[in-house]
Amino acid sequence: MNRSTFLIILLSVVIGLASCNSEQQTHPPKTLLVSFDGFGHNYLEKTDTPNFDALVTNGVQAEGLIPVFPSKTFPNHYAIATGLYPENNGFVNNTMYDPKWEEWYRIRDREAVEDGKWYEGEPIWNTLEKQGLKTGTMFWVGSEADIQGMRPTHWKTYDGDMPGKARIDTVMKWMANAGDETVDFATLYYSDVDSKGHRYGTDSDSVKQAIKRADNLMGYLKEQMKEKGLWTNTNIIIVSDHGMVDLSADKLIRLDEIIDMDNTERVNWGPMTGIQPKEGKQEEVYQMLKSAEENYRVYKKEDLPERYHLKNHRRVEDIIMVADLGYTILDEDYQEDFVESLPRATHGYDNNEKAMQAFFIAHGPAFKQGEKVGNFQNIHIYELINHLMGTEPAPNDGSLDSVKVLLK
């Protein structure tokens, strides 16, 4: 080999290494989004949580994460995924009726849950996949449906019985395995804290044990990420969808004692109760509710406060009742069953209530360390993830400026 040939080969190697280093430097770190359903903003104060505490010490924590209204699971998970308020993404409640289609969406109706027509806007996994990145969703609202004719590279049909560690193991395989389907962005979801809160109340031993189990899962996640070389170069965002408030059997609002139920076409029960009056009965129903307004507020759909970002969608009923914190709206048929089975806590109330705020922790190369910031709305997380992944967001209601305080 002559000197000229050697120099050419050497130069090619140097250029190749420089190119590889450049690609490593410009390729964004992976992102993992984790949700613990029903984990209130103050739940870390209820028991020992060494693994969460370590994430807080080495990352950034918000004083609270403000949910969209209603503060329910499906509207908030889909708002986080799309950066859109309910009136702009179609998810106005866990249960909703579409008058155009004359169809119901219920969270336990698998056919509806997996039907992409209910999901408006563009979820984060679609945004990333459209721009050449791979995604994997271990249970997230919307990820089981063919939204825009697309799905994540990897996704799972919801299975509440799947063990927590098994969920982590599967996501770690998606994120760490070499190949064309190695994911850049993934999600994890857990419902344990929420279900124990509903059944036993926010200060119960069962909730405290559920918080500890969540903490143990974070310890296991860290261990597995370190083992697979993901810990130092992955941005982790840990959220919840809403808080929780305790209920009482003496905080009841009997709708059938205020209005004639025969004047209603349908009622969608909850802390936010939607009433669809029969044709010609709207004003009568509204005036009866307004005259008895106590421990709730009542609105015609068009008069809903702008901050609810709810009134501009056909799936919202013509009259909306919003119960005061801790109150339950029901009728005679439901009251006896409610009092006997009395769920100890619930959510769905005004998202301005502190008790409805969720929690937020972020850890990784993009985030500040040992910082605590003020609360912010969860719709901004979509913009945040796009920033972390170096992708262009679809039109949304969020703002990166609202969460820049989290970043280094």
Q: Which residues are catalytic?
A: 73
The backbone region for 394, taken as left when phi is positive above 0, alpha when psi lies in -120 to 50, beta otherwise, is beta
What one-character DSSP code corresponds to residue 76?
H
Contact 159, 165 (CB under 8 A): no
DSSP 407: B
Residues 237 and 331: their CA atoms lie apart, in Å, by 41
CA dist 289 and 21 (Å) reads: 67
CA-CA distances (angstroms) from residue 284 to 261, 265, 279, 298, 352? Answer: 12, 14, 11, 13, 30
Q: How many residues does the chain have?
A: 408
Number of other CB atoms surrounding residue 396 within 10 Å: 22
CA–CA distance, 34 with 65 (Å, rounded to integer): 14
The DSSP-derived string for 195-251 is HHHHHH-TTSHHHHHHHHHHHHHHHHHHHHHHHTT-STTEEEEEE-S---EE--TT-
